[in-house]
Chain A
């Protein structure tokens, strides 16, 4: 199997995590360091093992970018619009309350994804009703009311 360039990102991420946790671990009491040290060494060792495996694969079979495999059929605009709308939704829940935010978010996403209006309306009503019955009525969860209302 060829070495994938995209896996370099995985290795860098894991080493970064090890470095970050190691730096903060050194500030802990000696007694509290035992287990974090064990897990950091374990992750570091396994990442190094994977790096060696990658190098061996590169020598034996060659190198491929891996981008095509990882992002095959990736819809850039659709993904980022959905991601941004989700983040805006989280902010909206905090500021304008759960139900208003949910209705706005769902209408925005469903309209963007071109869901027929009737289907979209049913989905919005069904989800809000489900949340109200299951979480508010059944579980007694007090939903975020929002700071503005």
Chain B
């Protein structure tokens, strides 16, 4: 216990180093900009900025990625409040009350509520990150080769259903990713597999190039196929971006409830910030003493939604860091960043690399303060940025994709790989396949392969080794649950968001 407290204190102190703080502030600012632009997503932002973290210390790099993640989730609320267009799906519920407040001339108050609630939601989620992550990591100590094989499949079943309209298509995407992950040298025998004479493929498909292509370059093609429309003018506001003592007191219980909701949703595989925001909003409405204000600019509605979606961030990192199972696309990208730094999710993060992990946790706490400061001070500037046209984003993002993929190995072939994955990602999105599943499969594929082959080698080819331990059986059961959980989550999301939107419309009409 004392050792853990020492690690926590040391981690926080490490995160306070000037260079880390500068990078953290830059990451949060960048994240907010990416989040407030309706054409861009948090996952895309993290993927695009991944190469910039290569030369940094692993903990600094991870803190920057965490800062972009948190900043982007909060940034979505700015455009939701000011132009009634959520920057990210995680802020969809914020638009309901936030925009009504803007129409009433309370845009500054709505932004301050979003900022304050996001800060508390994110900060409180760090508590569960600190306390539950090491406990879950202990469980991973029981894993042997066969268990790692099943764990990789479990991770895939979880992510395959997320953001896929069809579960089978999601699983197909995962299987395609697994197949692509076999390109390169055989990890056991060292023989060439599917390399076709290209030496640069020896280490397999570069995950960062694939990430940039699948998430960022594909988004360029998505933007390019749509008619360029001028974005709505952001509402001008003259009221102060601040909350009174009474208002802070009013939203306090809502923030605490939304933190709990967001945290649980974050830990659950397959759920994410887009579900949490509606759950937080609904909960705020159910417990509010001012129900009649909902649909007309209720401050508690904004607080409920924003605290919940930011509470997801800390929660979703728990299964990602401990078991290597990201619950949504942005954490899959973050896990890619972790692995690129040479770190494997699991118990080693809390033993061998404990100092680095707790520095990241400390940084994650400080990110919330940076988000509060930048959010409060920079809202007016970000409001103008949120109007940036897709026509400008198209060439800018393309250039960043090219330089980002080139910077990895200073090899032009990586740019070509990124571009091919960009096209693949575009067509996958058009045909409802799942890009996140491909990325996760590229990461988990080699882990699963080593697990399967080592287990079979140890048992001299006896397949029963794959079902020989209780942990294996639990993981198989979880795979089955994982396959069906997205179906339930989708039904639940539709029900929650459908009810909320219908109620909001009815109230507006009334």
A residues with a Cβ closer than 8 A to B are: 6-7, 9-10, 14, 17, 21, 24, 28-29, 31-32, 34-36, 38-40, 42-43, 46-47, 49-50, 53, 70-71, 73-75, 78-79, 82-83, 86-87, 89-90, 93-94, 98, 102, 105-106, 109-110, 113-115, 119-120, 123, 127, 131, 134-135, 138-144
B367 at the interface (CB under 8 A from A): no
Q: Report A-chain residues with C-beta under 8 Å of the C-beta of B431.
A: 6-7, 9-10, 70
Q: Which of B159-189 contact A (CB under 8 A)?
A: 166, 168-169, 171-172, 175-176, 178-179, 181-182, 186, 188-189
Inter-chain contact B193/A36, CB cutoff 8 Å: yes
28 residue pairs A–B, Cβ–Cβ below 8 Å = A10-B431, A10-B433, A21-B194, A24-B194, A32-B191, A34-B452, A35-B182, A35-B448, A35-B449, A36-B182, A36-B193, A38-B452, A39-B175, A46-B171, A50-B172, A70-B431, A71-B430, A75-B225, A78-B228, A82-B224, A87-B419, A90-B415, A90-B416, A127-B396, A134-B52, A135-B407, A138-B52, A140-B55
0/1 per residue, B423-449, Cβ < 8 Å to A? Answer: 000000011010000000000010011
Q: Report B-chain residues with C-beta under 8 Å of the C-beta of A89.
A: 398, 402
CA distance A115 to B171 in the complex (A): 41
Inter-chain contact B52/A131, CB cutoff 8 Å: no
0/1 per residue, B384-399, Cβ < 8 Å to A? Answer: 0000010110111011
Chain A to chain B: the 5 pairs with minimum beta-carbon distance, closest first = A113-B391, A82-B224, A43-B175, A109-B395, A39-B178
CA distance A135 to B398 in the complex (A): 15
B403 at the interface (CB under 8 A from A): yes
Inter-chain contact B191/A28, CB cutoff 8 Å: yes
B residues with a Cβ closer than 8 A to A are: 51-52, 54-55, 166, 168-169, 171-172, 175-176, 178-179, 181-182, 186, 188-189, 191, 193-194, 220-221, 224-228, 389, 391-392, 394-396, 398-400, 402-403, 406-407, 410, 412, 415-416, 419, 430-431, 433, 445, 448-449, 452-453, 456
Inter-chain contact total with CB atoms closer than 8 Å: 159
Q: Report B-chain residues with C-beta under 8 Å of the C-beta of A32.
A: 186, 188-189, 191, 193
Decide: A14 near B399, CB < 8 A? Known: A32-B191, A35-B449, A50-B166: no
- Besides A32-B193, A73-B227, A141-B407, 5 more A-B contacts (Cβ < 8 Å) are A7-B431, A36-B179, A47-B172, A87-B419, A90-B402
Inter-chain contact A40/B179, CB cutoff 8 Å: yes
Minimal Cβ-Cβ distance residue in A for B397: A127
Q: Report A-chain residues with C-beta under 8 Å of the C-beta of B178.
A: 39, 42-43
Inter-chain contact A115/B191, CB cutoff 8 Å: no
Query: Which of the residues A34, A86, A123 comes within 8 Å of B456, measured between beta carbons?
Result: A34
CA distance A144 to B487 in the complex (A): 47
Inter-chain contact B395/A106, CB cutoff 8 Å: yes
Inter-chain contact B189/A31, CB cutoff 8 Å: yes
Minimal Cβ-Cβ distance residue in B for A37: B182
A37 to chain B, nearest CB (A): 10
Inter-chain contact B410/A141, CB cutoff 8 Å: yes
CA distance A42 to B437 in the complex (A): 14
Inter-chain contact B415/A115, CB cutoff 8 Å: no
CA distance A143 to B403 in the complex (A): 8
Query: Which of the residues B168, B391, B398 comes within 8 Å of A46, measured between beta carbons?
Result: B168
Inter-chain contact B168/A50, CB cutoff 8 Å: yes
Q: Report A-chain residues with C-beta under 8 Å of the C-beta of B179.
A: 17, 21, 36, 39-40, 43
Inter-chain contact A93/B392, CB cutoff 8 Å: no
Inter-chain contact A139/B52, CB cutoff 8 Å: yes
B210 to chain A, nearest CB (A): 16
Decide: A102 near B399, CB < 8 A? Known: A46-B175, A50-B166, A83-B224: yes
Q: Report B-chain residues with C-beta under 8 Å of the C-beta of A47.
A: 172
Q: Report B-chain residues with C-beta under 8 Å of the C-beta of A78.
A: 224-225, 227-228
Minimal Cβ-Cβ distance residue in A for B450: A35
Q: Report B-chain residues with C-beta under 8 Å of the C-beta of A123.
A: 392, 395-396
Decide: A73 near B186, CB < 8 A? Known: A39-B178, A53-B168, A89-B398: no
Minimal Cβ-Cβ distance residue in A for B172: A46
Inter-chain contact A43/B410, CB cutoff 8 Å: no
Inter-chain contact A105/B399, CB cutoff 8 Å: yes
